[in-house]
Amino acid sequence: MFGLAALTPILVRDAYFLDSLVLILLWGALSAAWNVAGGYAGQVSIGHASFFGIGAYSAALTVTRFGGGPWFGMLVGIVISIGAGFIIGFLSNRLKGPYFALSTIAFSQVLLIGVSRWRGFTSGAEGIPVPFRPGFATLGLGHVGWVYMALAVALVCYAVEVYLERSRVGYQLAGVREDEDAAEALGIPTRRLKVGAVTLSAALTSVCGSLWAQYVGFVDPTYVFSVDLSVRFALNTIIGGMGTALGPFLGSILITSLETYLRATFAGVKAGFTGIYLIIYGTALILVVRFVPDGLAGIAARVRVRRAHA
């Protein structure tokens, strides 16, 4: 699948199509990053937009306020996200299930309000345009360049997931997700692993946020810290299959294509557009968790098993 994505720019030159591909890969990478905490460690966050926003703002502010490069901004974002990840990780050790989810929403709201109100530094609710300067060092890439950039980050996130499926620490994390008390009795330092998973997930999300800021060229607090965005990371993963490596990418292909299709269909009614696809998202979320809890990857696995038995 990733190989196909790598070949596409050679075969197709359509900017619109390549743009969709970049978005599919970026959303897939973000959902995979969410999956590290939510799917593998079982720490379901609805505030991951916090880390996305930290990454986006770190890159945008480094470029516009301090004259630094976006790569350095990305690094700043990683460092801040690790700090924020520790806070959320600490909360995950105190809180279970719905309480943890609530505290992550509150965290993203604190950032949203903070960034919106601190006008002097962040330009507040108006947001910051990120200048386009051609070149790799300034992340001013063409469509083809962005496809490979997004592909690279998607592969990194995918590799982290695969590692968590096969490695020692991955199995231990699965134990933590399934039953923390039992995992402790088996000698697994559950608190440390949870904080580690949440922090890694935060750092990966932040990297994607920094790239996104450069790709789109504009950041504003109400979008990058929104609950809708956090839900979207989770939604892609749930539809694709939580705790599976390919799931977030499958979910991203489906949801991002749907969005692109709807955007084309409802292009005339611009105001209504956002609402319509979010209504579809929400409905999909309700139906999937109820009727297909293990997502597309789960369906695929079941089909394989059935074929093997037939």
Partner 1 sequence: MDPARRLGPAQIGVLTQLVVATVLLGGIYALISVGLTLIFGIMRVVNFAHGEFLMLGMYLAFWAFVAFTADPYFVVVVAIPLFFVVGLVVYGLVMRGVIHASHNVQIFTTVGLSTVLQNVALVAWSGDFRYVRPWHLSTVLRAGSTIFNLTQVVASLIAVALTLTLVAFMKWTHAGRVMRATAQDRDAATLMGIDTDRVYRLTFAIGIAAVGAAGVLVAPLYSVYPTAGLQFVLLSYVVVVLGGLGDMLGAMIGSLIVAAVEVAGSYLFGAAWKEIFYFILFILVLGFRPAGLFGQRGAGTLGV
Partner 2 sequence: MSDAAPILALDRVTKRFGGLTAVSGVSFRVEAREILGIIGPNGAGKTTLFNVISGYYRPESGRIHFAGHDVTGQPPHAICRLGLTRTFQLVKPFGNLSVIDNVMIGALTRLPTVSAARLDAERVVETCGLAAHAAGHARTLPIGLRKRLEVARALATRPRLLLLDEVMAGLNPTELAGMIELIRRLHADGLTLIVIEHIMAAMMRLAQRIVVLHHGETIAEGAPAAITQDRRVVDAYLGEEFVLAQA
Residue 260 interacting partner from partner 1, partner 2, none (CB closer than 5 to 8 Å by kind):
none
Residue 175 interacting partner from partner 2, partner 1, none (CB closer than 5 to 8 Å by kind):
partner 2
* DSSP code at position 307: H
**Cβ atoms of residues 228 and 278 within 8 Å:** yes
**Cβ atoms of residues 243 and 35 within 8 Å:** yes
Select from 61-69, 153-161, 163-171, 276-284 the region that touches partner 1 (CB under 8 A): 276-284
Contact between 238 and partner 1 per CB under 8 A? yes
CB of residue 177 vs partner 2: minimum separation in angstroms?
8
Using alpha carbons, select from 45, 40, 74 the residue that is nearest to residue 204.
74
Q: Which of 10, 67, 181, 271 binds partner 2 (CB under 8 A)?
A: 181
Contact between 171 and partner 2 per CB under 8 A? yes
Contact between 120 and partner 2 per CB under 8 A? no
Q: Given the complex with partner 1, which of 87 and 144 has the nearer CB atom?
A: 87
Spell out the alpha helix ranges (H) of 36-167. Answer: 49-66, 70-94, 97-117, 119-122, 143-166
CB of residue 308 vs partner 2: minimum separation in angstroms?
13
Q: Kind and range of the H or E element at 218?
A: strand 218-219
What is the rounded distance in angstroms from the CA atom of residue 167 to the CA atom of residue 163?
6
**Cβ atoms of residues 115 and 214 within 8 Å:** no
Q: Kind and range of the H or E element at 128?
A: strand 128-129
The number of angstroms, rounded, from the C-alpha of 287 to the middle of its chain's C-alpha atoms is 22
What is the rounded distance in angstroms from the CA atom of residue 168 to the CA atom of residue 87?
25
The number of angstroms, rounded, from the C-alpha of 19 to the middle of its chain's C-alpha atoms is 18
Q: Which of 167, 257, 265, 283 binds partner 2 (CB under 8 A)?
A: 167
Contact between 182 and partner 2 per CB under 8 A? yes
Contact between 181 and partner 1 per CB under 8 A? yes
Contact between 245 and partner 1 per CB under 8 A? no
Residue 103 interacting partner from partner 1, partner 2, none (CB closer than 5 to 8 Å by kind):
partner 1
Q: Name residue 101's amino acid.
A: A
What is the rounded distance in angstroms from the CA atom of residue 269 to the CA atom of residue 288?
28
What is the rounded distance in angstroms from the CA atom of residue 51 to the CA atom of residue 282?
22
Q: Given the complex with partner 2, which of 14 and 179 has the nearer CB atom?
A: 179
Select from 18-26, 156-164, 187-195, 231-239 the region that touches partner 1 (CB under 8 A): 231-239
Q: Which residues bind partner 1 (CB under 8 A)?
A: 44, 46, 90-91, 94-99, 101-103, 105-107, 109-110, 113-114, 117, 181, 227-228, 231, 234, 238, 271-272, 274-276, 278-279, 281-286, 289-290, 293
Q: Which residues bind partner 2 (CB under 8 A)?
A: 166-168, 171-172, 174-175, 178-179, 181-191
